[in-house]
């Protein structure tokens, strides 16, 4: 579990590292563009209810991960989160949902592995 420190509050928001890694990318992208939005979640620590924070560039944020190794990011999850952050409802996350493993990167095609393409020859008429 990682921690998101929001504003001047000494109490962190506890978020699984994998989710926090994806949130960091989406949040940083939005704030870099000076785009404010809300982040909402349902409490999972036994406390009833849900929380929402307003994210904007002037409010301090700090991401602290338990793992020293960075997570592999899933591009579809990032896209879905970015789309949601752009909506009027803001970004709504579930702390207990598993994010799919990132698809393994494929090696770039080499000249030998690309099938030859026949180009029709034109003759002068």
Helices (H) and strands (E) in the chain, counts: 2, 6
Is 25:85 a contact under the CB 8 Å cutoff?
A: no
106 vs 67: which has the higher pLDDT: 67
pLDDT of residue 48: 87
Q: What is the pLDDT of residues 47-63, one digit of tens each?
A: 789 999 999 999 999 99
Q: What are the CA-CA distances from residue 88 to residues 25, 28, 85, 113 (Å)?
A: 20, 19, 8, 46
pLDDT of residue 25: 97
pLDDT of residue 44: 82
79 vs 112: which has the higher pLDDT: 79
How many Å is the maximal CA-CA distance in the chain?
A: 82
Is 11:62 a contact under the CB 8 Å cutoff?
A: no
Task: Determine if the pTM surpasses 0.75.
Answer: yes
pLDDT of residue 45: 75
């Amino acid at each position: 579990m990682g921690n998101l420190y929001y504003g001047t509050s000494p109490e962190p928001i506890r978020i699984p590292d994998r989710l926090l890694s994806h949130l960091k990318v989406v949040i940083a992208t939005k704030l870099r563009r000076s785009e404010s939005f809300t982040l909402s979640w349902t409490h999972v620590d036994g406390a009833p209810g849900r929380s929402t924070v307003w994210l904007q560039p002037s409010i301090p944020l700090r991401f602290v991960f338990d793992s020293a190794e960075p997570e592999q990011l899933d591009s579809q999850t990032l896209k879905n989160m970015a789309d949601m952050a752009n909506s009027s409802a803001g970004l709504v996350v579930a702390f207990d949902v598993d994010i799919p493993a990132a698809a393994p990167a494929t090696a770039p095609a080499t000249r030998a592995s690309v099938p030859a393409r026949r180009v029709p020859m034109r003759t002068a008429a």
